[in-house]
């Protein structure tokens, strides 16, 4: 087949929502009309699939089949009716939202989206050699035209600016310890999805390439005179199997649909939102159990609220090396008593586990003889470098390995009283072609689907927890991951380097993950590798971290110091205050995670996603939205006591700290004390709070709501999900909800507050905070006002609700 004479296609089959185009040379293109806003393209140079099943596609469900989902399985999609038109040159497929035109000479695609002004072209395949029909090699390519002004967001956790334009990225999961959050690539995640957005036309789309292969994206860094402006995707293995998702109004449309398509985010226990301590230093110490006891004493002494502790892998050591599922009884002479001491203090332990067995692991021969390891063609272990030794990875595509793993998670961890698992070092760095996986009976080189083992590892850990305690919600953490990881785990951005630059770019990295369907995220606060943070940097990092779903201070500092809330006495009180702020905000964060689980809403959002009509929001900045109602502007520069922030147009904004109101569409400079990060609530917003006084040994939960009424005629609305926070009883309806509405006009504000469903407590009072500068009288037709006082620029109303 000549590169200059691309194949000509004809319609070979039309079966329901699937169209198959075929050429005389044997190449094929299959089109799948899945939703009004989702169409899939499958390019097959030899006419049939080369890659494995998919473990990514799980529309609206909790998971895929263990052995994967057949790539032609369309279950879960609505498969709408569509218009089909063909002539001598073009095939056109049209839904209410997408019009796809395919040139029969070459298969080149042109994509249009229907907007307010009619059909608008948003994507064209590159007119020269868009696909590889065996022209060059066996790799998978997709070249598309790059249009001026386009912006690209997503691709998971990437270093650098949010806009990925003019950059090149590799998806090759790697242990990038001490990475630069501005420049390092590749990193830990494999999420080949991104959103293209055109600010000028305020429209865009998402592209998801369903591959398990390592892959790369060139977003316009490469130039070639013969092809015009372009960007492209390339993968060495598998098939070109991509999904186009229309996103006509906001980039969030594509994110929501991609998240829905790849599986429901896990509903995790509420304690997972609390502060989680962690450091490698404690468990590396010869008296690790004593060191761990000192952490509880420190929390109690400094009144640091804490719900969990991530137990680093030193607890498994033999000498200087680490051996998963092994307890070092010299360091932990009473392991069960140690776990119980943490539970008695209200702190759950999340133990580190790794998927590679060192060659001198106590269980290595057991695993080898059972055939549980990745092996070479001769059946010998496929050796890899892992920490300070060589070893072999476990093969998670072997059902026997999954059973072995689950049994060891239970016996070595869960039976000791552990509440969760920390799935770490699971990048599966296998580079040789001579290393094979079981593949559920279809033996294949592991390098063609390394990320699949990462995903199946976390799935097996989750199943172990569910089998051990069926009524308890699993809590899992994983450093590495791929598409669909939101179904199983909370994650973080890996082993970052301690610097102000990392603080700034971790913020952008988190937003990239959230736009890629993974919202339950955070970063190692204070920095993991490198120097100890300065007192100011540590406080500012905590002041940023309190807003993220994952809130953990973790470290392995070069000088062996430990990032602890009390490591600098001169700032301990500010850090304790910030952690209390975090616990005050937990009901709002819990509600946002519920909206992520139920409606696929991202928790973190760039301001332009909420305000796509405001061109100034597209400029690179260090601000972010937490949900749709809270704008935060962390201080990420050394020595600053004020923070300049642009307030998006189209809304009024009220300071959390002062109650002062500001018009949108302007830049303001606000005070930024170390323990008071800049926070602004959007007009019409409702923020759920825990207003009870909290101490390490005294926990309580009392609901309150910050409400910013609409200035004229309108309504502020919101609420919070309420349940026991830990069990699976919510699946059986054991769940309630607070609902708050503030209906306003020029003369008055009418508050409607109600409780619905099965509430975990029977509180009949609630606190409502309104900006003190809003002097309109307040009516409460369904509640009695017990007290009204002004606190910090807010008018606090204590309401008593009817029984």
Q: What is the CATH number of the domain that holds 739?
A: 2.60.40.1180
Per-residue confidence at 2, pLDDT binned at 50, 70, 90?
very low
Neighbours of 137 (CB within 10 A): 9
Query: In this structure, are strands 521-522 and 490-492 parallel, antiparallel, or unpaired?
Result: parallel
| DSSP H stretches of helix in 562-612 | 572-599, 607-610
Cβ neighbourhood burial of 760 (10 Å; 0-12, 13-18, 19+): middle
- Of the three residues 463, 492, 521, the one that is the final residue of a domain is 492
Both 367 and 253 in a single domain?
Answer: no
Determine the structural domain holding residue 138 and report its residue range.
9-49+79-262
Degrees to nearest 5, angle at CA 317 with 474 and 353: 20
At 237 the pLDDT is 97
Quick check: is 642 in a domain?
A: no
Nearest to 194 by CA among 129, 239, 142, 269: 142
Q: Is residue 468, in this structure, part of any structural domain at all?
A: yes
Contact in structure between 356 and 386 (CB atoms under 8 Å): yes
The predicted pLDDT at position 387 comes to: 86
pLDDT at residue 117, as a whole number: 83
Tens digit of each residue's pLDDT (9 = 90 or more) over 595-640: 999 999 999 999 999 999 999 999 999 999 999 999 999 999 999 9
Helix (H) and strand (E) counts in the chain:
11, 54
Last residue of a domain, one of 492, 522, 540: 492
Average pLDDT, whole number, for the chain? Answer: 97
24-36: per-residue pLDDT in tens? 999 999 999 999 9
Q: What is the DSSP string of 387-439?
A: TTEEEEEB-TTSHHHHHHHHHHHHHHTGGGT---EEE-S-------SS-EE-G
- Please say if the pLDDT value at position 320 is more than 90: yes
For range 138-151, the mean pLDDT: 96
Rounded to whole angstroms, the Cα distance separating 715 from 373 reads 59
CA 616 to chain centre: 26
Please say which residue of 492, 510, 526 terminates a domain.
492
> In the structure, what pLDDT confidence band is assigned to residue 115 with cuts at 50, 70 and 90?
confident
The pLDDT of residue 3 is 53
CA pair distance 579, 458, nearest whole angstrom: 29
Specify whether 326 is located in the same domain as 255. Answer: no
Beta bridge partners of 29: 21, 43
pLDDT-based confidence at residue 4 (cuts at 50, 70, 90): low
pLDDT digits (tens, 9 = 90+) for 158-182: 999 999 999 999 999 999 999 999 9
pLDDT of 45 strictly over 60:
yes
H-helix segments, 631-790: none
> Does residue 535 have a pLDDT over 60?
yes
Q: What percent of the chain stands above pLDDT 70?
A: 100
pLDDT at 749 over 80: yes
pLDDT digits (tens, 9 = 90+) for 294-305: 999 999 999 999
Do 40 and 168 fall into the same domain? yes
Return the pLDDT at 707: 98
Flag whether 362 is in a domain.
Answer: yes
Q: What is the CATH number of the domain that holds 157?
A: 2.60.40.1760
Are 377 and 467 members of one domain?
A: yes
Same-domain status, 252 and 331: no
- pLDDT band with cut points at 50, 70 and 90 for residue 803: confident
Q: Tokens for 553?
A: 């201070």
pLDDT of 496 above 50: yes
> Structurally, how many domains does the chain consist of?
3
Same domain, residue pair 394 and 478: yes
Name the percent of the chain lying above pLDDT 90.
Answer: 97
Do 321 and 255 reside in the same domain of the chain? no
Confidence of residue 703 (pLDDT cuts 50, 70, 90): very high
Residues 317 and 457 in one domain: yes
Say what the pLDDT of residue 1 is: 45
Report residue 156's pLDDT band, with 50, 70 and 90 as the boundaries.
very high
- 118 and 219 in one domain? yes
Sign of CA dihedral 716, 721, 722, 726: negative
Which tokens belong to 465? 């927890």
């Amino acid at each position: 087949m000549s590169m200059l004479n691309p194949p000509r296609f004809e319609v070979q089959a039309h079966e329901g929502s699937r169209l198959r185009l075929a050429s005389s040379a044997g190449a094929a293109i299959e089109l799948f009309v899945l939703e009004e806003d989702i169409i899939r393209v499958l390019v097959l140079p030899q006419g049939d699939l080369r890659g494995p099943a998919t473990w990514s596609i799980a529309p609206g469900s909790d998971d895929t089949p263990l052995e994967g989902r057949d790539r032609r399985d369309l279950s879960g999609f609505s498969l709408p009716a569509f218009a089909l038109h063909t002539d001598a040159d073009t095939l056109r497929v049209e839904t209410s939202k997408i019009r796809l035109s395919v040139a029969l000479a070459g298969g080149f695609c042109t994509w249009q989206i229907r907007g307010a002004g009619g059909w608008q072209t948003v994507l064209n395949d590159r007119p020269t050699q868009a696909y590889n029909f065996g022209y060059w090699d066996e790799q998978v390519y997709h070249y598309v035209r790059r249009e001026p002004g386009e912006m690209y967001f997503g691709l998971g956790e990437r270093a650098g600016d949010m806009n990925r334009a003019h950059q090149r990225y590799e998806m090759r999961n790697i242990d990038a310890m001490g990475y630069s959050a501005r420049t390092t690539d590749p990193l830990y995640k494999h999420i080949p999805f991104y959103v293209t957005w055109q600010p000028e036309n305020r429209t865009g789309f998402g592209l998801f390439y369903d591959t398990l292969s390592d892959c790369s994206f060139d977003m316009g860094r490469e130039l070639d005179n013969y092809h015009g402006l372009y960007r492209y995707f390339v993968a060495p293995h598998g098939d070109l199997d991509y999904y186009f998702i229309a996103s006509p109004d906001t980039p969030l449309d594509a994110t929501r649909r991609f998240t829905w398509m790849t599986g429901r985010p896990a509903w995790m226990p509420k304690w997972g939102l609390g502060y989680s301590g962690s450091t490698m230093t404690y468990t590396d110490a010869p008296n690790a159990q004593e060191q761990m006891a000192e952490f509880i004493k420190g929390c109690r002494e400094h009144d640091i609220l804490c719900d969990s502790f991530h137990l680093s892998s030193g607890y498994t050591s033999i000498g200087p090396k680490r051996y998963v599922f092994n307890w070092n009884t010299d360091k932990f002479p009473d392991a069960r008593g140690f776990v119980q001491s943490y539970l008695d203090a209200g702190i759950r332990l999340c133990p580190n586990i790794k998927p590679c067995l060192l060659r001198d692991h106590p269980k290595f021969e057991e695993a080898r003889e059972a055939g549980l390891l990745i092996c070479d063609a001769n059946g010998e272990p496929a050796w890899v470098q892992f920490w300070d030794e060589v070893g072999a990875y476990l093969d998670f595509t072997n059902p026997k390995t999954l059973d072995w793993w689950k049994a060891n998670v239970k016996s070595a961890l869960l039976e000791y009283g552990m509440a969760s698992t920390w799935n770490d070092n699971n990048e599966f760095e296998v580079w040789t072609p001579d290393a094979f996986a079981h593949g559920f009976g279809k033996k294949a080189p592991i390098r063609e689907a390394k990320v699949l083992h990462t995903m199946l590892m976390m799935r097996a850990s989750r199943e172990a927890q569910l089998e051990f305690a069926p009524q308890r919600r699993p809590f899992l953490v994983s450093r590495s991951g791929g598409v669909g990881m939101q179904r199983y785990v909370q994650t973080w951005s890996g082993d970052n380097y301690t610097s102000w630059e990392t603080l700034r770019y971790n913020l952008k990295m988190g937003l990239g993950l959230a736009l890629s369907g993974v919202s339950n995220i955070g970063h190692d606060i204070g920095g993991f590798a490198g120097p100890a943070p300065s007192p100011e940097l540590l406080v500012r990092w905590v002041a940023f971290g309190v807003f993220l779903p994952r809130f953990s201070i973790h470290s392995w500092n070069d000088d062996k110091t430990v990032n602890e809330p009390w490591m600098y006495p001169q700032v301990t009180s500010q850090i304790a205050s910030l952690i209390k702020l975090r616990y005050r905000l937990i009901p709002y964060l819990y509600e946002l995670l519920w909206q992520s689980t139920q409606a696929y809403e991202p928790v973190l959002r760039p301001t332009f996603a909420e305000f796509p009509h405001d061109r100034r929001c597209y400029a690179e900045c260090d601000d972010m939205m937490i949900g749709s109602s809270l704008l935060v502007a962390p201080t990420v520069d050394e020595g600053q006591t004020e923070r300049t922030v642009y307030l998006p147009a189209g809304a009024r904004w009220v300071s959390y700290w002062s109650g002062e109101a500001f018009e949108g569409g302007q830049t303001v400079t606000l005070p930024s004390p170390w323990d008071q990060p800049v926070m602004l609530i959007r007009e019409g917003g409702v923020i759920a709070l825990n207003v009870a006084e909290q101490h390490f040994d005294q926990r309580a939960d009392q609901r309150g709501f910050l409400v910013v009424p609409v200035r004229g005629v309108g309504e502020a609305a919101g609420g919070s999900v309420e349940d026991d926070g830990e069990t699976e009883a919510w699946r059986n309806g054991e769940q309630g909800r607070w609902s708050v509405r503030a209906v306003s006009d020029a003369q008055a504000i009418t508050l409607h507050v109600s409780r619905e469903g099965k509430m975990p407590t029977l509180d009949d009072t609630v606190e409502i905070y309104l900006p003190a500068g809003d002097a309109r009288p307040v009516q409460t037709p369904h509640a009695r006002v017990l007290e009204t006082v002004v606190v910090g620029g807010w008018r606090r109303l204590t309401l008593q609700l009817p029984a």
